[in-house]
Amino acid sequence: MKRIMLTVAYDGTAYHGWQLQPRAVSVEEVLNRELSRVTGEEIKVKGTSRTDAGVHAEGNLCIFDTESPIPPEKFSYAVNRSLPADIVIQESREVPADFHPRKWDSEKTYEYHIVRCRHADPLRSRYAFCCYYDLDAALMSQAAAHLVGEYDFTSFCSADTEKESHVRRILSLTVEERGDEIVLTVTGNGFLYNMVRIIAGTLMEVGKGRIPPAAVAEIRDAKDRKAAGPTAPACGLRLVRIRLIDPPWKAEK
């Protein structure tokens, strides 16, 4: 028996998130199906980040156990042949039998893409939120600074989140203008349900001039979801990478 870790990229538009759902297709379901077909075993992957419906990923991680003779680094090639075009395994490798990326210290980086446009752009609307309002990126950047650090982010998570603790640490949160796009990039040690989308929605309210930048600190300290802005649409969010801190195989090199 060996444990394999996959780095998976996907366009989340057609999926009801990462996690298995009783009446909707998920990324996890498709991976289980194709891995089981290739190995001849019943495979159930265990993911690291349970992205929401419509959210994209460039580098989500998952693991599974198998007795298949396929070399670890070849799983990506073997399974990609039958995966739909919107799910691609970027890398496969063997990891220690007791390793689970969700339980390992890591840093997750998300981006939220906003296109400033008068009308929706059909070539980009799957991967960015088209905003018809003028947004002041400088004000959004000022507001973002109030969210960097370790805080209770109750104001920035859905009320029905199942996590006992709402304390998270944001290592960096930047607002960058790229032509007609504004890109929010946030890195942290973990995120609550809808946390990044609520942060994005709140910062857009700042960019519209509806919330002063300094008020974001008050929203943060209120620990009340009603104090923050709306939840931004899922299409603009993508999980860019999960960086494992000092993984056990690093010492093997």
Catalytic residue positions, numbered: 52
> What are the two backbone dihedrals, phi and then psi, of residue 153, each rounded to the nearest 5 degrees?
-100, 35
Residues 6+ apart with CB under 8 A from 174: 141, 144, 184, 185, 186
Question: How many Å apart are CA 136 and CA 35, to the nearest integer?
Answer: 46
Question: How many Å apart are CA 25 and CA 187, to the nearest integer?
Answer: 28
Residue 130: count of CB within 10 angstroms of its CB = 18
Question: How many Å apart are CA 19 and CA 149, to the nearest integer?
Answer: 29
Q: Positive or negative CA dihedral for 220, 224, 195, 199?
A: negative
State the residue for tokens 């990326």: 101
CA angle, 241 then 244 then 250, to 5°? 125
Q: Positive or negative CA dihedral for 26, 27, 32, 35?
A: positive
Structure tokens at 88: 């691609």
* DSSP reduced 3-state for 127: coil
DSSP letter at 156? G
